[in-house]
Amino acid sequence: MVKPRVIETNEGIQGEFTVEAYDKMMRHLRDKGWIETQIVLKTGINHGLCLEIGPGPGYLGLDWLSKTDRTTLKALEISPDMIKIAEKNAAQYGLLERVKYVKGDAQKMPFDNETFDGSFTNGSLHEWSQPAKIFDEIYRCLKQGGRYMISDMRRDMNPLFKWFLKLMSKPKEIRAGLVSSINASYTVQEIESILSKTNLKEATVKKTRMGFEITGRKPEKV
């Protein structure tokens, strides 16, 4: 029996101390090569102007930019503290000209219909108070034929993996936050049920060891 979700936050990750600890953790994972860039690329998100939702300190989008040619990225982030760190990191990558961090809530994206060639997000979904709204916003802002990839942890992951994740999380101060994120995350069944009521109902949901990946393509109109 899976325990019910425990909501973690509806406001994103805020506060200088938490944001800095989160940045350190993600930098450590980046250095180990544990960033989801290959999943984004395998989905076919590899050209044009793309959207990242909840980039946090920005490593996924920055790695994606550095592995693709002539691409640009808009990254929509609710936390101003995260945007400050992401901009600093983008400067370190020498990518400030190809990425723009936009402060806003993905539930109501400040973008026109059919703006993006692709859209991706990792580790943010469990913080969204109304995921169905964001799924519909992703669909609205994608061009016809545009692809999306949404990945996150799942709270019914094997307890051994949970223990491993916790152990691997550095600095130590971030561990409590990691556990609360896992407790706030969805199961595949829950997410399939939410997706079925949105414009992303044709999405594929792949269960992975510690989470799931939602992928798909906005159809071309005939």
Q: Which positions lie near ligand SAM, rule CB under 6 A?
A: 12-13, 26, 53-56, 60, 76-79, 82, 105-107, 122-124, 127-128
**Residue 58 C-beta: closest distance to ligand SAM, Å:** 8
**Residue 129 C-beta: closest distance to ligand SAM, Å:** 7
> Is residue 28 within a helix (H) or strand (E), and if so which, with residue range?
helix 16-32
Identity of the residue, 129 or 144, whose beta carbon is nearer to ligand SAM in the bound complex: 129
Identity of the residue, 153 or 203, whose beta carbon is nearer to ligand SAM in the bound complex: 153
Identity of the residue, 10 or 196, whose beta carbon is nearer to ligand SAM in the bound complex: 10
**Residue 119 C-beta: closest distance to ligand SAM, Å:** 12
Identity of the residue, 54 or 216, whose beta carbon is nearer to ligand SAM in the bound complex: 54
Strands 211-217, 142-153: pairing is antiparallel
Residue type at position 144:
Q
**Residue 142 C-beta: closest distance to ligand SAM, Å:** 17
Q: How far apart are alpha carbons 146 and 40 in whole angstroms?
A: 13
